[in-house]
Structure 1
Amino acid sequence: MIEFKNLTKVFQDKKREVKALHDVSLQVKEGSIFGVIGYSGAGKSTLVRMANLLEKPTSGQVLFEGKDLIKLSGSQLNDVRQQMGMIFQSFNLLKTGTVYDNIALPLKLTGVPKAEIDKRVAQYIQIVGLQDKLKVYPAQLSGGQKQRVAIARALAHEPKVLLCDEATSALDPDTTEAILELLSKINKELGITILLITHEMNVVQKICHEVAVMEQGEVIEQGSVIDVFSKPQTETAKRFIHSLFNDDIPGDLFRKLKTNGKLVSLSFIGESAGDPALAMVTKKYDVFPSILGGNITDLKERPFGRLIVHLDGSESEAQKAIHYLEESGVIVEAYTKEDPTHGN
């Protein structure tokens, strides 16, 4: 539905050029929730503003349903923008207007008849669960309620795509969870494609189908959320995934254990997360597993577990145990001190 082809964006900052994006190519499939994650300055917010040409690229193409947006006239581009709702971190609500006014005003400005406006306001305020707040002003709402109003406003134009720029960054964890559930519901029930920008891995974990990892204006890794979580290829992706798990080993313990047996990281996905593979190791081989850290979480409604385990035993028996775990669907990697995602 949305495709970025070889996007580059260069800003002029006084006497020097700042390259915000460099040769970025991504494809957001219709009906999916696509997450773009990166640390501050990675270029992800610049990228999402390219989707509707709020920011124009220095070079490259932005395609929406096969149309090159850069080649469209002003009126044609405005028509496309009506099909893309946008949600911001700061909500961007009109302080002097009620909840009704905030949802209705953009529709009034585009000439939607009053009866249709009332119909849409009632429909989408119900979807976000704020039917009793229509006459309330933003100052009387919580952060989560303000974001729900912003989502209803974005939905009122009945877009095909929602562009979310750090939509949960200003919210507490419980409110973030509720907003993510709402976005997932909108995706499933209304079939709206979502392009979501974030620096929080738990956001990607909860609702995204695919993810791209950005660093210094480039996409350094992309794929299905399951593939990126289970087999991260870059150190940045590993750091993000590590943020979900408590698997640091203190330096003294690491130095003690690495000389005796094997220290490994085990990743379990889907059905393998519930299998007793690790428990069976002690019955099949002369090794004694000790779990040193990690946990199990949900990954797009599938269990995903990560454990740091010490296999106490001979080299040969430990290797047999590792081979058995791999055959059981467990991803096994050596836990090394040099890995920057782990403790020193």
Structure 2
Amino acid sequence: MIQLQNVSKTFVTGKNKIEALNDVSLEIQKGEIFGVIGYSGAGKSTLIRCVNLLEHPTSGYVFVDGTDIGGLGSNDLRKLRRKIGMIFQGYNLLETANVYDNIAIPLKLAGVPKKVIKERAAKYLEIVGLQDRSQAFPSQLSGGQKQRVAIARALAHEPEVLLSDEATSALDPATTDSILELLLKVNRELGITIFLITHELNVIQRICDRVAVMEKGRIIEQGSVVDIFTKPREPLTKQFVRNESRFKIPDPLLKELLSTGELVNLTFLGESAKDPALATLARKFDVLPSIIAGGIDQLKDQSIGNLLVHLKGETGKIRDAVDFLQSEHIIVEEVIG
């Protein structure tokens, strides 16, 4: 659906050059939710704005549904942009217009008939759960409601792709959850491809199918959310995952545990979560496992279990126990003080 091939973008300010994107390539499949994560300054916003040519790449190619959009004339580009909706962190609503008009005015400017505008506004306000707020003004809405209006406005053009530029970063956790559920609903019920950027890993894990990690204008790692979450390769990716899903242990307790055995993070996925592997260790290997902490990460379509476990026993037997856990398709990561 969307392909970026060797895309670079350089901004020139006076005598300075800022390389915002450096040889970025990725592909987003039709109907999926694809996320890009990275810290501020990584180039995420520039990347997503290249998809609809709000930013023109310095070099490289952007294809949307097989069309090289860099070669389009202004009229064809305008038509293509109607297939690409976009929502922003700041909502971008007209403060002097009510909810209905915020949706209707862009459609009117695009030449959509009045009857169709009325039908679409009603349809998409119902989808976002604001059918009773059509006459309210933005100043009368909460942040979450404003973002729902912005989503309805984007959907009213009936796009094939929805771009989300940090759409939840200004919202509280509960409101963020509701907006993520809405985006899932839009993707599943309307079949719209969603491309989002964020610095929040919980957004990626909740709704994305695949993810790319950006650092200093480059894609440093990409893959399925499950693979990135359970087998991160790059230091930055590991930092994101560990900050979100690993357990923090006070130093005195960590030293005590490491002095009396080994400490391991265990990740359970799919069938590995159903087998009583830890119960086998004491009986089969004479290794005593003690669960220090545990939790579950909910991804879009499945759960990942995490346990912090202390293994007490002879070194050789602990090694055999770890080998056994790995043979049971449990991901084992040793904790080092």
Is TM-score (shorter-chain normalized) higher than 0.5? Answer: yes
Over the aligned positions, Cα root-mean-square deviation in angstroms equals 1.2
Partner of 2:176: 176
Query: Counterparts in 2 of 1:187-336, with a 5 A limit?
Result: 187-336=187-336
Aligned-residue offset at 1:137? 0.5
Q: Distance in 2 between matches of 1:271 and 1:205?
A: 20
Q: Distance in 2 between matches of 1:274 and 1:95?
A: 53
Gaps of 5+ in 1: 338-344
Aligned-residue offset at 1:16? 1.2
Q: How many residue pairs were aligned?
A: 337
TM-score normalised according to structure 1 size: 0.95
Q: Which letter maps to 2:179? A: I
Q: Distance in 1 between matches of 2:4 and 2:246?
A: 36
Q: Deviations over 1:170-201 (max 9, x none)?
A: 11111100100010011001000000100000
Identity %: 57
Partner of 1:46: 46
Query: Counterparts in 2 of 1:95-106, with a 5 A limit?
Result: 95-106=95-106
1:325–1:332 contact (8 Å) kept in structure 2: yes
Aligned-residue offset at 1:257? 3.1
Q: Distance in 2 between matches of 1:13 and 1:259?
A: 56
Moved more, 208-217 or 256-265: 256-265
Partner of 2:64: 64
Aligned-residue offset at 1:325? 1.0
Q: Deviations over 1:267-289 (max 9, x none)?
A: 11123234322233222221111
Q: Distance in 2 between matches of 1:235 and 1:150?
A: 36
SS in 2 for 1:258: helix
Q: Distance in 2 between matches of 1:282 and 1:43?
A: 50
Moved more, 251-260 or 141-150: 251-260
Aligned-residue offset at 1:254? 2.8
SS in 2 for 1:159: coil
Q: Which letter maps to 1:297? A: D
1:262–1:310 contact (8 Å) kept in structure 2: yes
Aligned-residue offset at 1:64? 0.4
Partner of 1:135: 135
Q: Deviations over 1:35-65 (max 9, x none)?
A: 0000111111110000000001111001101
Aligned-residue offset at 1:316? 1.6
Q: Which letter maps to 1:206? A: R
Aligned-residue offset at 1:246? 4.7
Partner of 2:90: 90
Moved more, 128-137 or 239-248: 239-248
1:246–1:295 contact (8 Å) kept in structure 2: no
Q: Deviations over 1:106-163 (max 9, x none)?
A: 1000100000000100110000010100011010001110000000000000000000
Aligned-residue offset at 1:256? 3.4
Partner of 1:149: 149
Q: Distance in 2 between matches of 1:23 and 1:260?
A: 49
SS in 2 for 1:177: helix
Q: Distance in 1 between matches of 2:9 and 2:300?
A: 32
Aligned-residue offset at 1:168? 0.4
1:246–1:294 contact (8 Å) kept in structure 2: no
Q: Deviations over 1:318-341 (max 9, x none)?
A: 11211221122201122223xxxx
Call closer, same or farther: CA 1:20–1:170 in 2, change over 3 Å: same
1:52–1:84 contact (8 Å) kept in structure 2: yes
Partner of 1:342: none
TM-score normalised according to structure 2 size: 0.97
